[in-house]
């Protein structure tokens, strides 16, 4: 009898593999036929000096270390891991940028994603290094292979630090409206650093900075006429504004003056110009501090991602 039971167990293992023993994969909403793990996916990464071949399992923890505080809730870290993995897959399927045409992604946060090596993170974390690294690894391994898909393809998984209570439509920031990147409410919490920021500059500097980008601008003697007709978009950010008689987009104003977001007000006087800004980042997709607030409310990483990315599915993808 024992021999028959043992033989049956061997047969079940051969037929069904390890999952029969109770080792669970991350919960998914419909897997594709091919189920690649992070260890099985190899990337070409431009590190600023050379291209490096590295597995997703080796690369992704460095992105999560670089993009989100390790002290965030574990479910928020998992949401960040899936978001970063999805963005990497998106880059792999759409091709590299001109700055790294032979690489899938790079380690420049201004181009692709921030990346922090384990040793640099450990030096920063000090006596919390082991605990924090464990959380990062748990977030990556606990979502192994999982990405966000729309129409069966990885999405452009944009994310930002914090919103002014509402995220932005992709078309408010970039040329194209994407159906999964639409404006949603975002609970930011009270712990967001520099959530409200103020930038003040001399009036002469304000005029000089703007006219370098827009030489056709003209500023008269009346400060009240320098900035006029502020138009807001549906998410409450500045859509367009007239400065020195030139109508520009709020995102351009943010770029020209180095503001933390396009959610701002501006006040002018003969002596100085003051911007008051809320939030940090372009505002599209997942707010990291919003994700952390949702995790504190008990939301899972799956629920967090569905909150910020409309009509996506979660599953695996073969790049």
Query: Predicted confidence band at 29 (pLDDT cuts at 50, 70, 90)?
Result: low
Strand ranges of the sheet holding 196-202, from the earlier edge strand across to the other edge: 196-202, 272-278, 264-268
- Residue 19, in any domain of the structure: no
| pLDDT at residue 27, as a whole number | 52
| pLDDT score of 2 more than 60 | no
- Residue 18, in any domain of the structure: no
| pLDDT score of 26 more than 70 | no
Could you read off the pLDDT of 239-273 as tens digits, one per residue?
999 999 999 999 999 999 999 999 999 999 999 99
Q: Is residue 31 domain-shared with residue 162, that is, in the same domain?
A: yes
Could you read off the pLDDT of 179-208 as tens digits, one per residue?
999 999 999 877 899 999 999 999 999 999
Q: Is residue 274 domain-shared with residue 149, that is, in the same domain?
A: no
Q: Is residue 169 domain-shared with residue 213, that is, in the same domain?
A: no
- Residue 14, in any domain of the structure: no
DSSP letter string over the chain? -HHHHHHHHHHHHHHH-GGGGT-PPPP-S---S----GGG-EEEEE-SSSEEEEEHHHHHHHHHHHHS-TTS-HHHHHHHHHHHHHHHHHHHHH---TTSTTSSEES-TTTS-----HHHHHHHHGGGHHHHHHHHHHHHHTTTT-EEEETTEE----EESB-SSBPBPHHHHSSS--TTS---B----S--TTSEEEEEEEHHHHHHHHHHH-TT----S-GGGTEEEEEE-TTSSEEEEEETTEEEEHHHHHHHHT-S-S-EEEEE-SSEEEEEEESBS--BSEEHHHHHHHHHTT--HHHHHHHHSTT-EEE----
Q: Is residue 175 domain-shared with residue 225, that is, in the same domain?
A: no
Query: Predicted confidence band at 10 (pLDDT cuts at 50, 70, 90)?
Result: very low
* Count: domains in the chain: 2
Q: Is residue 154 domain-shared with residue 57, that is, in the same domain?
A: yes
Q: Is residue 220 domain-shared with residue 169, that is, in the same domain?
A: no
| pLDDT at residue 34, as a whole number | 57
- Residue 166, in any domain of the structure: yes
Q: Is residue 36 domain-shared with residue 178, that is, in the same domain?
A: yes
Q: Is residue 174 domain-shared with residue 231, that is, in the same domain?
A: no
- Residue 9, in any domain of the structure: no
Q: Is residue 210 domain-shared with residue 291, that is, in the same domain?
A: no
| pLDDT score of 171 more than 90 | yes
- Residue 83, in any domain of the structure: yes
Query: Predicted confidence band at 24 (pLDDT cuts at 50, 70, 90)?
Result: very low
Could you read off the pLDDT of 90-138 as tens digits, one per residue?
999 887 566 788 899 999 988 899 999 999 999 999 999 999 999 999 9
- Residue 214, in any domain of the structure: yes
Q: Is residue 233 domain-shared with residue 166, that is, in the same domain?
A: no
Cβ–Cβ < 8 Å for 61, 123: no
Global confidence as pTM: 0.86
Q: Is residue 201 domain-shared with residue 107, that is, in the same domain?
A: no
Q: Is residue 82 domain-shared with residue 105, that is, in the same domain?
A: yes
74-94 vs 129-141: helix axis angle to the nearest 10?
Answer: 60
How far apart are the C-alpha atoms of 92 and 88, rounded to whole Å? 6
How far apart are the C-alpha atoms of 55 and 95, rounded to whole Å? 18
Query: Predicted confidence band at 147 (pLDDT cuts at 50, 70, 90)?
Result: very high
- Residue 161, in any domain of the structure: yes
CB-side exposure of 163: number of CA atoms within 13 Å? Answer: 26
- Residue 296's domain comprises 26-190+282-315
Mean pLDDT of 310-319: 93
């Amino acid at each position: 009898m024992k021999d028959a039971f043992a033989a049956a167990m061997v047969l079940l293992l051969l037929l069904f593999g390890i999952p029969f023993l109770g080792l669970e994969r991350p919960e998914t909403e419909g897997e594709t036929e091919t189920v690649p793990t992070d260890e099985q996916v190899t990337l070409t990464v431009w590190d600023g000096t050379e291209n490096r071949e590295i597995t997703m399992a080796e690369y992704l923890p460095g992105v999560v270390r670089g993009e989100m505080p390790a002290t965030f809730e574990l479910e928020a870290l998992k949401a960040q891991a899936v978001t970063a993995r999805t963005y990497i897959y998106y880059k792999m399927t759409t091709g590299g940028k001109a700055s790294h045409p032979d690489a899938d992604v790079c380690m420049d946060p201004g181009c692709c994603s921030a990346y922090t090596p384990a040793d640099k993170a450990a030096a920063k974390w000090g006596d919390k290094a082991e605990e924090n690294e464990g959380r990062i690894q748990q977030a990556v391994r606990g979502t192994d292979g999982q990405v966000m898909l729309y129409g069966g393809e990885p999405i452009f998984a944009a994310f930002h630090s914090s919103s002014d209570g509402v995220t932005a439509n992709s078309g408010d920031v970039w040329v194209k409206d994407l159906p999964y990147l639409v404006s949603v409410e975002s609970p930011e919490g009270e712990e967001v650093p520099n959530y409200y920021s103020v930038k003040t500059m001399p009036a002469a500097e304000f005029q000089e900075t703007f006219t370098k980008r827009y030489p056709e601008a003209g500023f008269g003697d009346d400060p009240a006429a320098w900035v006029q007709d502020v138009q807001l978009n549906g998410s409450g950010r500045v859509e367009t504004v007239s400065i020195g008689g030139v109508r520009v987009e709020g995102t351009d104003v943010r770029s020209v003056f180095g503001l933390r977001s396009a959610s701002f007000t501006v006040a002018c006087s003969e002596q100085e110009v003051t911007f008051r800004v809320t939030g940090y980042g372009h505002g599209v997709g997942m707010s990291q501090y919003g994700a952390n607030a949702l995790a504190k409310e008990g939301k899972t990483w799956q629920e967090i991602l569905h909150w910020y990315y409309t009509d996506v599915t979660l599953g695996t993808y073969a790049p």
